[in-house]
Amino acid sequence: MNTKTKSIKSLFKPYLTVKNAYKGGKSVLPKNKDQKVFKLSSNENPIGSSPLAIEAIKNSIENLHLYPDATDIRLREALEIYYNYQLTKDQFICAASGSEIIDLVIRAFVKEGDEVIVSTPCFVPYKMFSRWSGATVVDIPLFEDNYGLNMEGILNAITKKTRIIFLTSPNNPTGSYISKVELEFLLNKLPQDIVVVFDEVYWHFANAQDYTTALPYISKYPNLIAINSFSKTYGLASLRVGYSYMNEEVAAYLRQICKPFLITKLSLEGSIASLKDTDFIEKTIDTIRSEKIYLQEQFNKLEIRFYPTQANFYLINPPIPSSEFVQFLAEEGIAVRPVDNFGATGKVRISIGTREANEALIKSIRKLKVISLN
């Protein structure tokens, strides 16, 4: 055997390319010690983390040499209470982030050559993780004018190979949402052997009359899986915890490939405590709602074109090319997110911050407008 002509590279899977590695929201470093920086690039909670979570983490900081619980059962029991027993603990799957659950669902249902449907602009991991499983990503873009869902397009795109459809409401990065009527229409039309992933991680911020989570539909549609996260509303992005709920049999199927000891001790204690922190959640929602109105008024005054949002961020059309806009704000100490890779070319996503951060943002945009006029 000529061992020299063999190469380890022949084992590389053709669809596992590293060239489209995920780029997260960039941090901006202060130019000098007096410059304050504001991170409005990753939709994090502007008022911090749940104090109850912080306390629980502090109390569990001892014994880091011991393994955490082998399973997520205590978190699932806490979720059962949080959902007022409308769901049982056996309907939840938890993991080290919402993104991990998205990956878990893809690995559980998708094999090489299968198809998944996404609607860009959308959260990048749907496409990225699907490709890692060797799936073909079929894109049925949202309508350009209002970022509504192209339901006919989705139904027409279904083939024998379709395994998963990703729906996001409120959607990242557009802030648009899927109405009750739309979701019901789709669930009724879609074949039961296609998984509908309903990503609702921003649901706390939605206040449209006809907004819905997946909760009312779970018992009727066993192919429906709802994705949630502790990263946004609970202010626990760095702990990496997420959860999902679904039909009990589907959960039992997914549970077979849940890794033991996956969620760290600190993450378990923090997320469990945060579920009880109704004060913090209310304060977070109130802050986002009032700051959303503040930003809307200011954007209108400055003639910045923005899209209506049901989430804790705005998608805007920057007044100058997006890369220059992002760069200008970075120099001002404000990080915002270009979202070309989400499929929103030339647009910028700005997380809703504290009043201080939002005022700094508006002041900087005003300055930019003055500069560009001269």
DSSP class of 247: -
Cβ closer to ligand PLP: 105 or 365?
105
In angstroms, what is the minimal distance from the CB of 126 to ligand PLP? 8
DSSP class of 258: P
Cβ closer to ligand PLP: 91 or 97?
97
In angstroms, what is the minimal distance from the CB of 178 to ligand PLP? 13
Helix (H) or strand (E) holding 166: strand 162-168
* x-marked contacts with ligand PLP along 204-233 as a string, rule CB under 6 A: -------------------------x-xx-
Q: Which residues pair with 224 in a beta bridge?
A: 196
In angstroms, what is the minimal distance from the CB of 229 to ligand PLP? 3
Cβ closer to ligand PLP: 86 or 238?
238
Helix (H) or strand (E) holding 226: strand 224-229
* x-marked contacts with ligand PLP along 86-125 as a string, rule CB under 6 A: -----------xxx-----------------------x--
In angstroms, what is the minimal distance from the CB of 151 to ligand PLP? 19
Among 42, 14, 345, which residue's Cα sits nearest to residue 202? 42
Please enumerate in sequence order all residues whose Cβ is within 8 A of that of 161, keeping only pairs 6 or more positions apart, or say none. 113, 114, 115, 136
Total residues at interface with ligand PLP (CB under 6 A):
13
Q: What is the dihedral of CA 294, 145, 43, 196, to 10 degrees?
A: 140
In angstroms, what is the minimal distance from the CB of 322 to ligand PLP? 19
Cβ closer to ligand PLP: 164 or 362?
164
Member of 155, 208, 237, 258 binding ligand PLP (CB under 6 A): 237
Member of 53, 87, 116, 201 binding ligand PLP (CB under 6 A): 201
Strand ranges of the sheet holding 348-351, from the earlier edge strand across to the other edge: 305-306, 313-317, 348-351, 337-338
Regarding 72 and contact with ligand PLP (CB under 6 A), the answer is no
In angstroms, what is the minimal distance from the CB of 232 to ligand PLP? 6
Q: DSSP letters of 101-151?
A: HHHHHHHHH--TT-EEEE-SS--HHHHHHHHHTTPEEEE-PPPTTT----H
Cβ closer to ligand PLP: 262 or 362?
262
Please enumerate in sequence order all residues whose Cβ is within 8 A of that of 93, keeping only pairs 6 or more positions apart, or say none. 72, 101, 104, 243, 244, 245, 246, 251, 254, 255, 258
In angstroms, what is the minimal distance from the CB of 195 to ligand PLP? 16
Member of 49, 162, 169, 172 binding ligand PLP (CB under 6 A): 172
Q: 296: which 2 tokens?
A: 């809307």
Radius of gyration from C-alpha coordinates of the chain: 22
Cβ closer to ligand PLP: 131 or 161?
131
Q: 124: which 2 tokens?
A: 């990048």
Member of 242, 333, 338, 353 binding ligand PLP (CB under 6 A): 242
CB-CB contact of 125 with 107 (8 Å): no
Cβ closer to ligand PLP: 176 or 231?
231
In angstroms, what is the minimal distance from the CB of 271 to ligand PLP? 11
In angstroms, what is the minimal distance from the CB of 12 to ligand PLP? 27
Please enumerate in sequence order all residues whose Cβ is within 8 A of that of 333, keeping only pairs 6 or more positions apart, or say none. 28, 30, 31, 35, 36, 37, 38, 360
Chain residues in the site for ligand PLP (CB under 6 A): 97-99, 123, 168, 172, 199, 201, 229, 231-232, 237, 242
